[in-house]
Structure 1
Amino acid sequence: MNKAQIKKVVLAYSGGLDTSIIAKWLQDEYQCEVVTFTADLGQGEEIEPARAKAQAMGIKQIYIEDLRETFAKDYIFPMFRANTIYEGEYLLGTSIARPLIAKRLVEIAQETGADAISHGATGKGNDQVRFEIGAYALMPNIHVIAPWREWDLMSREKLMAYAAEHNIPIETKKGKSPYSKDANLLHISYEGNEIEDPAVAPNEEMWERTVSPKAAPDEETVITIRFEKGDPVAINGQALSPARIIETLNKLGGDNGIGRDDLVENRFVGMKSRGCYETPGGTILLKAHRAIESITLDREAAHLKDEIMPRYAKIIYNGFWWSPEREMLQALIDKSQARVSGEVRLSLYKGNVMVLGRESENSLFDSAIASFDDELAYDHKDAEGFIKLNALRLRIAAGKR
C-alpha cells in the first residue's frame, strides 16, 4: 500500500512528545486522518490530558480507555498461571502489555475504517516486533507505519527541532526522570543514562515503586492470598478484582523493598540489553502461586509445567501471544489449574518474600504418608525393588566397563 492509498491511521498515542510528533508527522507525510488510541494500563499517570493534546492537532476521533481490569484478568493472570519468567529473571511486564494494545489498535482500525495502524517503537527494540506480529495475527492485511523506520529524526535534537517548528508543546518538567521508562500495572522498566553500562549500579533515586530494602520496615508484614483455580481472588480475606489484587500487592511489596531486578537480557532482534525492573506485586504473586501449586499439583504435572515454561516465556517475550502455539500451551496450563485453590500465608520483609504456610481443600499432601506412619500406604520394604529397578541400566553399563 503506497502513501496515497492511506486515508486514515490509528496511532498508539501516549500524549508524550514522541507520539505527538508522530501524530503531526503522519498528518504531514501521509496527508491522512489520524485516530489516536491511549490506554490506561495502570501506568500511574493521568491519561486524560492526551485528549486535549490530540484535539490541539486537529484530531477528531480520540479513544481513551481504562483497560486495567482486562489487562490483569486476561493477560497478567493467564501468564502467572504458568509461573512465567524469561531467562530466569524477567517477569515480562512490558511484553505482556503489548498484545492487548495491538488488539485494540486493530479493533479500532476496523471500527473506524482505518487503512493502517502506527506506533512509536524504535527500530532497535522488541516492541516493534510485538505490536506488529500481534496486529498481523489478528488482521493479516493491516498496513503498519513505523515512523522510526522511515523518518530521519534520529536524534533528540532533531525531534526537538521538529516539535518547535510545528508548535508541538515541549514538556520540560522539573525533576523529569532521565531514564527511558515503560510503566503499567505489573511493572516499571528503566533503560538509559548510567544503566547503559552493565558494570555501573543504578542510582537509588531511579526506583519509583519500591523503597530500598535497607530502608524497609524492621518488622515483617504478614499477608494471606486466596487462590481459585490458579488465580488470586482475595488478600487477607478481602475479595478484590484482578487489577485491585495487583495494585494491593504492588503497595505491599513496594513498602517492603520487594521486586527490584537488574538484568541483561537477550532481545529478540539480536542484541543484549541492560534493563532495571520493579515488579513488587508480581514477585509476591509468583512466590505465592508456586506455593499453592506445591500442595495441589501432581508431581509430573508440576514438572511438565516447569519444562514448558521457558518456551512459553520466550513466546510472550518475542511477541507471539496470538500464535497457535501460545494458545495450545495456555490450554494445557489452564487445565492444570483446575484444583489449584487455597490460601498461602507470606512474610514480606526487607526485599524478601517468604512462605509461612499453605493450605488447600484440594491438598495432595498427606502427613501420615509423608511421616511414614501409614504402613498401608507406604511399605518401607517396597523401596528396595524400586531402587534396584531404577538402578538397573546403570548396573548393566557399569558391568560392561
Structure 2
Amino acid sequence: MPTRIIRSFADLDAMQGRVGHVLTLFSGGLDSSYVLKELVQRKLRVTALSVDVGEGCQLQDLQEITAFFGVDLKVVDAKEEFAAEAVAPAICAQARYLGTYPVSSSLSRPILAKIAVNVARELGCDAIIHAANQSQNSLRRLNGAIEQLDFDGCYGTPYERSVLTRDEKIEALRVLGLTRFQARGISGDANLWCREFESGSLDNPEGFWAPPSLFEWTRRREGDVPSCELQIEFRKGRPSAVNGRQMELVPLIAHLNDAVGAFQIGRYSGLEHLAGGEKVLEIREAPAATVLMDAYRQLETAVLDAELLREKVSLEMLWTREAVEGRWFGPLRLCVDAFIRHASEKVTGTVTYQLRQGAMDICAIKAPHPLYLTDRDGWEKSLVDDVFQPPNPTNRRHEEALA
C-alpha cells in the first residue's frame, strides 16, 4: 500500500497500480485542474467531486475541464447542509477569528471533507486528493477532518511538499491545450457565508490594495441607498425571519448579504496564522454574518444569565480555535458545541436595526422571556416597597395564634 498521507507528486507515483479509484476535490480552479492532469497522466481512475456550499460554481466550466481530461464529475449541492451543520452553530458560537472577523473556510472545509468521505465510500474510492498548498490553512483543515472521519484510504495534497509556481501550472496545461487560466492575481474562496481573498496585490500586509471589483455583496450601489429598518427574528437560537417574513436559513443569509451589503457593511481585513506560525493577510466580506452574529449576541444577552454568558464567551474562543486548527470533528469542539447549543435553546426574540451607510444602529431588542428591565423606576420602587412593607396586623395575629 502507498504512503497513507499524500504530500507530493512522488506520492502519487506510489499510488500507481495500488490504488483502484481516486476521488479528488475539484473546484475548477488552476490548482485542482493541474492535479487532475497529474492523476490522469499516471493512468489512475479518477472521479472529480465538486461541492457547492454557495460559491456559485459554474457547472459548464466544471464539465468542460473534466471532459477535457476524460474523468467523471460528481456535483453535490451542500448549501443546506453547510448552513445547518456549520453556519447555524457558528452564529451561536460567535465564531470570529481572534474576535475580529467571521471565520469561513474553517466552516466549509469540514463539510467538504465529510461529503468527500461519504462519496468515496459510496464509490469505493481508496484515495481522496485535494489541492490545498502550504500557504493555505485548508490543508490542515481538510486533512484533519478526513482523518477524524476515519477514512481508511490514502488522502492529502501533493502540493504540501511539491511546489510549483502558478505560471508553471498554467504553461503545463496550455501545452496540453487547456488555455483558460491566467497569470497570478488575487485568489479567492467563497461560500454563502463569506467571500475571502488573498495573494496578488494583497500579499504584503505593509501595503496592499483591494480593487473595488473584488467585492460583490458590499459593492457601492448606484445613487444613494436610503436608510431603512431591519428586524431579525430568532427562534431557539436559529435565525427564522427578516422583517416579519419567515425564511429558511440559506435564502435568509442570501437576503441579508444583499440588504446589509448595500450599505457597505461587513468588510474585513486581517492576518491569519499558518500551521508554522507565519501570518498571511486576508480580505473578506460577510454582511449577513456581521448582522446575524451581532443580533444573536444582543438577544442572548437579553435572555441568558450573566454567569452563563461569561462562561459561554470563554468557550467561544475554544470552539473557534478547534475549527480554525482543523479539529472540527474532534471531541473538544463537539463537547463545547453541546454547551453552546444547549444555551441557544432560550435565545428567542427579535432585534431591530436602523441601517445607514457604513453602520447598523440597534434600536430595539424584544424577547418573550427577558431578563432586561423595561421600567427602571417602577422596578426600583417595587424593591423598596418589598423591603419596607409595613407588617400586616392580620398576619401578625394569625402568627401569634399559631404560636
TM-score, normalised by the number of residues in structure 2: 0.87
CA distance in structure 2 between the aligned counterparts of 1:213 and 1:290, rounded to whole angstroms: 28
**Which of 292, 296, 311 lines up with 1:289 in the alignment?**
296
In the alignment, structure 1 residue 53 sits paired with structure 2 residue 65: yes
Residues 1:141 and 1:363: Cα distance change in structure 2 (over 3 Å) = same
Aligned to 1:115: 126
In the alignment, structure 1 residue 72 sits paired with structure 2 residue 79: no
Q: Deviations over 1:125-175 (max 9, x none)?
A: 2111000110011024231141213545x1122112210232334335xxx
Matches within 5 A, 1:108-257: 108-149=119-160, 151=162, 154-172=164-182, 178-211=185-218, 217=224, 219-257=226-264
CA distance in structure 1 between the aligned counterparts of 2:150 and 2:239, rounded to whole angstroms: 33
Deviation at 1:221, TM superposition (A): 2.1
CA distance in structure 2 between the aligned counterparts of 1:240 and 1:5, rounded to whole angstroms: 49
CA distance in structure 1 between the aligned counterparts of 2:208 and 2:119, rounded to whole angstroms: 42
Q: Deviations over 1:5-28 (max 9, x none)?
A: 112111110122321221120122
In the alignment, structure 1 residue 88 sits paired with structure 2 residue 99: yes
CA distance in structure 1 between the aligned counterparts of 2:367 and 2:220, rounded to whole angstroms: 32
Which secondary structure state, in structure 2, belongs to the residue aligned with residue 356 of structure 1?
strand
Query: Quick check: 345-354 or 117-126, which moved more?
Result: 345-354
Deviation at 1:360, TM superposition (A): 1.1
Give the aligned residue type for 1:105: A
Aligned to 1:359: 366
**Which of 340, 365, 374 lines up with 2:382 in the alignment?**
374
Deviation at 1:202, TM superposition (A): 2.2
CA distance in structure 2 between the aligned counterparts of 1:378 and 1:254, rounded to whole angstroms: 50
Matches within 5 A, 1:205-354: 205-211=212-218, 217=224, 219-354=226-361
TM-score, normalised by the number of residues in structure 1: 0.87
For the aligned residue pairs, the C-alpha RMSD in angstroms reads 2.3
Deviation at 1:203, TM superposition (A): 3.3
Give the aligned residue type for 2:129: S
CA distance in structure 1 between the aligned counterparts of 2:386 and 2:26, rounded to whole angstroms: 63
Which secondary structure state, in structure 1, belongs to the residue aligned with residue 293 of structure 2?
helix
Q: Deviations over 1:15-51 (max 9, x none)?
A: 223212211201223x311111111111134234312
In the alignment, structure 1 residue 21 sits paired with structure 2 residue 34: yes
Residues 1:93 and 1:203: Cα distance change in structure 2 (over 3 Å) = same
CA distance in structure 2 between the aligned counterparts of 1:269 and 1:12, rounded to whole angstroms: 25
Deviation at 1:213, TM superposition (A): 7.3
Residues 1:373 and 1:22: Cα distance change in structure 2 (over 3 Å) = same
Residues 1:35 and 1:253: Cα distance change in structure 2 (over 3 Å) = same
CA distance in structure 2 between the aligned counterparts of 1:146 and 1:378, rounded to whole angstroms: 69
Aligned to 1:7: 20
Structure with max Cα Rg: 2
CA distance in structure 1 between the aligned counterparts of 2:81 and 2:113, rounded to whole angstroms: 14
CA distance in structure 1 between the aligned counterparts of 2:360 and 2:223, rounded to whole angstroms: 13
Which ranges in structure 2 are unaligned for 5 or more consecutive residues? Answer: 3-14, 389-403
8 Å contact kept, 1:69–1:241: no
Which secondary structure state, in structure 1, belongs to the residue aligned with residue 62 of structure 2?
helix
CA distance in structure 2 between the aligned counterparts of 1:377 and 1:139, rounded to whole angstroms: 64
Residues 1:218 and 1:169: Cα distance change in structure 2 (over 3 Å) = closer
**Which of 27, 39, 47 lines up with 2:51 in the alignment?**
39
Residues 1:195 and 1:124: Cα distance change in structure 2 (over 3 Å) = closer
Q: How many residues of Structure 1 are paired with residues of Structure 2 in the alignment?
A: 374
Give the aligned residue type for 1:185: L
